[in-house]
């Protein structure tokens, strides 16, 4: 018999949705430091799908897609449960910056899991989030994008285990680029893997693509993928859809700016399979002269591209993957 689900301060009776937070501490001004969450407790037993947004505070696709998912779910028909964490890193999100500007020591929350209970501020947030997630989650999805600097297109990082690949494939037809995680440490996905649980990190969007209709489309596309995951794991009725084939590889590099200047990508270079030396972008001087050309370092696929035209030496420019195999099942 399905019971009340208690996650942090949220208490969801069977067939209901509850809102609450994971407490972390107190701000100097007296308000709480906490991680807000939405808990949907379904009608019957099934897996608990845990979805994290805004681990990076300049990536707003996560909260939007969790809101859009929850609008479309009826707790009286769900098997299992869904926990949505729209904004994991609240202070970073309030500032719309990648990390919390008040934490100069552990700025990037996505590199420090499982955190430390007695660590710097962001490490404590990671620790509180990690302990709660590991206790409850059967499946975890972290939602990322190009944030304030770039656009990332329909890519996901997965753990190369049978369960990890199964979850990645369950995202649906448009999610046909599967990249092995570039690090086995530091992210919620890595922390889930350490506990033998499947998790993925998905990448779609960026602040350069938040025009109202486009932003809505991105949120809906992600929510559709989460509904597809729920169909795949029989959490809701309906037939899941899959890609016909998947490109499987790894993020081999992020091309960093060889010089500062004005960033000008080649139109349509994004998410096309390209051969070595294909021109991807140019950097111009402040007088409009050519300062550098960015070319494909080897055969592969640029799945993310800088969109902020002001570029400084060493900035992220092109997120670049190599395809190692194509699979059809
Ligand atoms: Zn991110």
197 C-alpha vs ligand 1 centroid, how far in Å?
A: 21
Separation between Cα atoms, residue 224 and residue 118, nearest integer Å? 39
- pLDDT digit string, tens, across residues 264-281: 999 889 999 999 999 999
Per-residue pLDDT of 124-150, as tens digits, reads: 999 999 999 999 999 999 999 999 999
How confident is the model over 42-97, as pLDDT tens digits? Answer: 999 999 999 999 999 999 999 999 999 999 999 999 999 999 999 999 999 999 99
CA–centroid distance, residue 289 to ligand 1 (Å): 33
Token pair listed for 325: 């195999």
Question: From the CA of 265, how far away is ligand 1's center (Å)?
Answer: 21
pTM beyond cutoff 0.95: yes
Can you give the pLDDT at residue 260?
98
Judged by average pLDDT, the poorest of 172-176, 251-255, 296-300 is 251-255
CA of 108 to the centre of ligand 1 (A): 9
CB atoms within 5 A of ion ligand 1 belong to 56, 59, 144
Q: How far is the CA of 198 from the centre of ligand 1 (A)?
A: 19
CB 284 within 8 A of CB 264: yes
Position 182 scores a pLDDT of 73
Ligand 1 center to residue 201 CA distance, Å?
9
141-154 burial: b if 16+ Cβ within 10 Å, else e? bbbbbbbbbbbbbb
CA–centroid distance, residue 148 to ligand 1 (Å): 10
Which tokens in the block code for residue 125? 């947030």
Query: Does the pLDDT of residue 41 top 60, yes or no?
Result: yes
Ligand 1 centroid to Cα of residue 231, in Å, is 26
Number of H helices, E strands in the chain: 6, 17
């Amino acid at each position: 018999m399905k019971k009340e689900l208690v996650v942090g301060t949220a208490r969801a009776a069977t067939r209901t949705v509850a809102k609450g937070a994971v407490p972390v501490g107190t701000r100097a001004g007296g308000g709480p430091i906490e991680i807000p969450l939405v808990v949907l407790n379904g009608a019957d037993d099934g897996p608990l799908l845990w979805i994290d947004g805004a681990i990076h505070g300049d990536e707003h696709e996560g909260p939007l897609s969790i809101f859009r998912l929850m609008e479309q779910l009826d707790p009286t028909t769900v098997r299992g449960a869904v926990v949505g964490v729209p904004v994991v890193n609240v202070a970073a999100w309030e500032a719309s910056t990648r990390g919390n500007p008040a934490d100069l020591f552990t700025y990037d929350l996505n590199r420090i899991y499982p955190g430390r209970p007695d660590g710097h501020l962001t490490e404590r947030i990671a620790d509180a989030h990690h302990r709660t997630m590991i206790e409850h989650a059967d499946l975890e999805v972290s939602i990322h994008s190009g944030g304030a600097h770039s656009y990332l297109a329909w890519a996901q990082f997965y753990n190369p285990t049978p369960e990890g690949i199964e979850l990645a494939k369950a995202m649906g037809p448009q999610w046909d680029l599967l990249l092995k995680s570039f690090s086995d440490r530091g992210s919620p996905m890595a922390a889930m893997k350490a506990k033998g649980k499947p998790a993925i990190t998905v990448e779609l969007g960026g602040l350069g693509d938040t025009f109202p209709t486009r932003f809505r489309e991105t949120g809906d596309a992600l929510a559709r993928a989460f509904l597809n995951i729920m169909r795949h794991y029989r959490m809701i009725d309906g037939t899941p859809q899959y890609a016909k084939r998947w490109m499987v590889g790894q993020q081999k590099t992020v091309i960093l700016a060889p010089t500062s200047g004005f960033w000008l990508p080649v139109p349509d270079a994004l998410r096309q399979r390209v051969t070595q030396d294909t021109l991807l972008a140019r950097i111009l001087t402040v007088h409009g002269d050519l300062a550098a050309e960015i070319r494909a370092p080897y055969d592969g696929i640029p799945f993310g591209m800088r969109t902020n035209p002001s570029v400084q030496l060493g900035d992220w420019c092109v997120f670049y993957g190599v395809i190692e195999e194509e699979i059809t099942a």
